[in-house]
Amino acid sequence: MKSVYTPLWISLCVACISPAYATEQDDTPRSPWSSDISIGYQRLGGNADSQTINSELNGQYQVEQYSYQASVSLLQVEKDGEEDKRKTEFESQANMKLSAQSYALLNATYVADRYGPYFDDFMLATGLGYQWIERDALSVSTEIGPGFRYQRPNLDEIDDDDLIMPYSVSEPVVRAQAKWQWRFLDNANIEGRTQVVSGESNTSVEGVLSLATTITEKLSIKLTGKQNYMSEVPPGLKHQDSVFTVGLRYQWL
């Protein structure tokens, strides 16, 4: 893997130390819409060990005290000429400001995973968020609230190394999240997110850390590491999975 990562790291370092692209002063009102699309190389570790191409689409709308955001990602893996993974993830959230720093939220997530523990994994959660820091270079926020999740098990796979939970889940949960972003250079920023979802059947923890550096006004390189932990897994399988992604992100709105 050394030969694969070396040129990517060199490209990232060159982009980080190069001067930020020049922009002229623009008094045009900022659009409430923003969106970007990403495509890149992805390596899976833990219970899975494979490489693939991943794509992701993100969108956000913000006006006055309301904001809406949504993202969808697609993953398909072939191993030894056969399909090994097919996964679609969708997340959407609506926020309504209650004060300068606090907001109410409604979050929905859906995962369709052909070869994962569940064919369908849906969660709807509400709650309160608090923006601890909100500056041009640094932002920190936390969220917590109740929710409900429904999971339909994947029973078609019978291999010993398949992460299959043999029961359906329909239960209340508690969702908590911490998120931060730091722009440490004019053309580079790092961001992280930790999310915990806990219910009677299982507790999951997801940690994401991303580093992005701008190449042009709309194009950037992005490195993302993701760790997923589940408290309950079938005997003999690992509690933790990892995903590493190197890709290009294009902001088209």
**CA 56/CA 36 separation, integer angstroms:** 8
67-113: per-residue pLDDT in tens? 999 999 988 766 666 666 778 899 999 999 999 999 999 999 998 87
Angle (CA) 186-136-66 rounded to 5° is: 130
89: tokens are 């993830």
Q: Cα–Cα distances in Å, from 144 out to 100, 120, 132, 194, 240?
A: 18, 24, 14, 12, 23
**CA 199/CA 149 separation, integer angstroms:** 9
Q: Write down the residue that tokens 């990562």 correspond to.
A: 5
Contact 150, 125 (CB under 8 A): no
pLDDT of residue 6: 43
Task: Locate the domains of the chain by residue range.
Answer: 2-16+37-251
150-178: per-residue pLDDT in tens? 988 776 654 555 555 677 889 999 999 99
Tell me 115's DSSP state: T
Question: Bridge partners of 172?
Answer: 148
Q: Write down the residue that tokens 């923006």 correspond to.
A: 131
Decide if pLDDT at 53 tops 70: yes
Going 75 to 81 to 84 to 86, the CA torsion angle's sign is positive
Contact 191, 213 (CB under 8 A): no
Mean pLDDT of 37-49: 79
Kindly indicate the confidence band of residue 32, based on its pLDDT and cuts at 50, 70 and 90: confident
User: By C-alpha distance, which of 182, 215, 186 is closest to 15?
Assistant: 215
**CA 173/CA 200 separation, integer angstroms:** 8
Min mean pLDDT across 8-17, 48-57, 157-166, 237-246 is at 8-17
42: tokens are 């992805």
Collect all residues with Cβ–Cβ distance below 8 Å to 227 and sequence separation of at least 6: 206, 207, 208, 240, 241, 242
**204 three-class SS:** strand
Angle (CA) 125-128-134 rounded to 5° is: 125
Contact 133, 114 (CB under 8 A): no
CATH class belonging to 2-16+37-251: mainly beta
Decide if pLDDT at 184 tops 70: yes
pLDDT of residue 231: 86
123 by Cβ neighbours in 10 Å (0-12 / 13-18 / 19+) ranks as buried
